[in-house]
Amino acid sequence: MSEAWDPDRYLAYADERGRPFVELIARIAAVEPATVVDLGCGPGNLTALLATRWPGARVHGVDSSAAMIAKARAGRPEASFEIADLRDWASSAAPAGIDVLVSNAALQWVPGHLELLPALVRTVAPGGWFAFQVPGNFAEPSHVLRAELAAEPPYDAYTGDLAAPASHDPVVYLDALRALGLEVDAWETTYLHQLTGEDPVFDWISGTSLRPTAAALPDELWPQFSAELRRRLAAAYPVRAGRVTLPFRRIFVVARRPA
């Protein structure tokens, strides 16, 4: 299996994944920013919303996935895009004086991303905005069941050192950014996504959190692993009235650097 991001699979739930982004940028009060950066832009469908929100700005997307950037470049000519690791970009490649820096569901993939916040803040212009959203649902069955199964034999021989996404409670981000001198608004929301299909929760995580496990397992083990995970997820998320309810907690932060 490949760990490479699949833009089409990720976009299967574009509306559900996009809603937190829309609610995040609605709280950014920038009026006429010159430079807007989407850090972890993925396939660029949400980057386009930034260009619509601030039509006079230079909008730039950054993502580590070549497949995602290719998809973004093909469909979003109104923006520019760059392939870069978020950590490398923050430490050396980022331009100074960004008016609006946005990151949607990306920081959770960066180990120790709390320590990266000072470097990200330094890229923001005085009076500029830094806003991000990360999942906060890692104690949910969609994550726990995958981790438990991956820890069982014979899969554990291949999955012991997998990188796992992680995030912090809103107050942790609030305190960290306030200590850097920013004005901070932080909150959380739990969405109740109503999914349809044969194995909708499995399909959901296949585009994101299941990728490292799928990449680590040999091809001959993947069919039995995926079949058992589908069974466990179906038991944890029963169908009611033709739909499966997936609770999904999200953490939001909107911060402004003083002018």
- pLDDT of 1: 35
Residue 111 one-letter amino acid: P
Where do we find the tokens 């990151």?
103
C-beta separation of 163 from 212 below 8 A = yes
C-beta separation of 76 from 96 below 8 A = no
pLDDT digits (tens, 9 = 90+) for 8-32: 554 456 678 889 999 999 999 999 9
Q: How confident is the model at residue 148 (pLDDT cuts 50, 70, 90)?
A: very high
Compute the distance between CA of residue 157 and CA of residue 38 in angstroms, rounded to an integer. Answer: 37
Q: How confident is the model at residue 94 (pLDDT cuts 50, 70, 90)?
A: confident
pLDDT at position 5 over 70: no
DSSP annotation of 12 reads G
- pLDDT of 10: 45
What is the rounded average pLDDT of the residues 227-248? 97
pLDDT digits (tens, 9 = 90+) for 115-144: 999 999 999 999 999 999 999 999 999 999
Q: Which long-range contacts (CB under 8 A, 24 or more apart) does 220-227 make?
A: 221/154, 221/155, 221/158, 222/1, 225/149, 225/150, 225/155, 226/202
- Considering the domain 7-256, what is its CATH architecture? 3-Layer(aba) Sandwich (3.40)
- pLDDT of 2: 38
Q: Strands 183-195, 80-83: parallel, antiparallel or unpaired by DSSP?
A: unpaired
Provide the greatest CA pair distance for the chain: 57
Least confident piece of the model among 12-26, 90-104, 200-214, 235-249 = 12-26
Q: Is the backbone peptide bond immediately before 154 cis, with ω within 30 degrees of 0?
A: yes
By CB atoms closer than 10 A (0-12, 13-18, 19+), residue 92 is exposed
pTM: 0.91
- pLDDT of 79: 77
- pLDDT of 15: 78
Strand partners, 184: 255
